[in-house]
């Protein structure tokens, strides 16, 4: 059996293979509620052979949404709307996961489908963004610096969202600390200029993330817990893979089971060199330096490429995004490509397994 189609056990959850669906925002929600689009969108990947299907960045508070059209899980109505979607994913043999998020200074923006860009004004459904420091992302409104009371509220909000997620049936939780959103903003010195216990030295910049990990672990002690990091800001003086590795090690000590390694998103002047598998070296460095399982992501488009990443010991699982959008049956295609007679084929599709 290929490594890609071998199972991976995380705590007590067995994932049937290591080709996973990365969280991808759909900007198609109203009042934070997932709907029919989200149901079909996510369930089709399970039918298509994914081992794990992760729902998009889902806000833990209303002001944590990237856009007014983002999904949320800050109330019980949203929890109940997620439940049938989760059931559909699981009934098709995949593990259902959710990414818990707060957009920080990149909140309250127009969706990619809009003709306008920047921050949505209050009279059009927007709100005041919050951040570790009152430093704006280029082209967005200046955020308000979070005070200590609001930081405490955020820790509680992540814990409450985790409880609702487990109640909805999600089997894996991921804390979003990447792509320039709130927790990444706390981690990076380019966006965090605080002088209190949450700014300055690395242990202070990581304090909020570790508090949230502890709070989530307290309410979901047996649930696999991931953290997504941007391994580098791709900008001088910013967060880098060395700091990511240190904090990933701390996260493991606090109960995180796997680190999901991406990069970028913090500043508009980032300078990224892309190409097939361009972020895999970051995953390899974090895996080896922090002694923690990792997933790799970034222009991974074939079963052979994913298998090579795992065989080289660079990651424990592979996440893909755009390739799943191009082909919701990417998992079935990859299995055929690798000569796997994989049990991931739904009975309804078995007749197509062989030409």
CA distances from 315 to 164, 231, 287, 291, 318 (A): 30, 14, 7, 11, 7
100 vs 7: CA distance, rounded Å:
25
Interatomic CA distance for residues 200 and 273, integer angstroms: 29
Catalytic residue from among 140, 181, 198, 278: 181
> What is the rounded CA–CA span in Å between residue 260 and residue 286?
10
Exposure b/e, 48-57, CB count within 10 A at least 16 = b: bbbbbbbbbb
- Distances in Å between the Cα of 26 and the Cα atoms of 4, 55, 278, 287 are 27, 10, 24, 30
Query: Could you tell me which of 132, 212, 134 has the C-alpha nearest to residue 176?
Result: 212
Strand partners, 20: 319
Q: What distance lies between CA 99 and its chain's CA centroid?
A: 5
CA 262, CA 274: separation in Å to the nearest integer?
12
Is residue 349 flagged as an active site residue? no
CA–CA dist 294, 286 (Å, integer): 8
Catalytic residues: 181
């Amino acid at each position: 059996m290929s490594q890609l189609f071998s199972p991976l056990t995380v705590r007590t959850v067995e994932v049937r293979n290591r080709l996973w669906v990365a969280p991808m925002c759909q900007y198609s929600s109203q009042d934070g509620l997932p709907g029919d689009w989200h149901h079909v969108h996510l369930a089709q990947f399970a039918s298509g052979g994914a081992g794990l299907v992760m729902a998009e960045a889902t806000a833990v508070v209303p002001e944590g949404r990237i856009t007014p059209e983002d999904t949320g899980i800050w109330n019980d109505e949203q929890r109940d709307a997620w439940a049938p979607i989760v059931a559909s994913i699981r009934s098709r043999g995949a593990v259902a996961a959710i990414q818990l998020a707060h957009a920080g200074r990149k909140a309250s923006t127009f969706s990619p489908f809009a003709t306008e860009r920047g921050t949505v004004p209050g009279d059009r459904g927007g709100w005041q963004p919050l951040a570790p420091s009152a430093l704006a992302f280029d082209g967005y409104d200046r955020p308000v610096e979070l005070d200590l009371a609001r930081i405490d509220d955020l820790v509680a909000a992540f814990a409450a969202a985790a409880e609702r997620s487990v109640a909805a049936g999600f089997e894996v939780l991921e804390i979003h600390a990447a792509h320039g959103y709130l927790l990444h903003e706390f981690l990076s010195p380019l966006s965090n200029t605080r002088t209190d216990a949450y700014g300055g030295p690395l242990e202070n910049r990581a304090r909020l993330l570790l508090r949230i990990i502890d709070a989530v672990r307290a309410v979901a002690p047996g649930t696999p817990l991931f953290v997504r990091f941007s391994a580098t800001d791709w900008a001088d003086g910013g967060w880098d893979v060395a700091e990511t590795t240190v904090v990933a090690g701390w996260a493991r000590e606090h109960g995180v089971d796997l680190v999901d390694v991406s990069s970028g998103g913090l500043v508009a002047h980032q300078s990224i060199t892309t190409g097939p598998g361009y972020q895999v070296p970051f995953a390899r460095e974090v895996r080896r330096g922090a002694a923690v399982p990792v997933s790799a992501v970034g222009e991974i488009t074939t079963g052979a490429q994913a298998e090579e990443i795992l065989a080289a010991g660079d990651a424990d699982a592979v996440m893909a995004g755009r390739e799943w959008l191009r082909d919701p049956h990417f998992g079935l295609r990859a299995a055929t490509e690798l000569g796997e007679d994989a049990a991931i084929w739904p009975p309804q599709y078995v007749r197509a397994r062989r030409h």
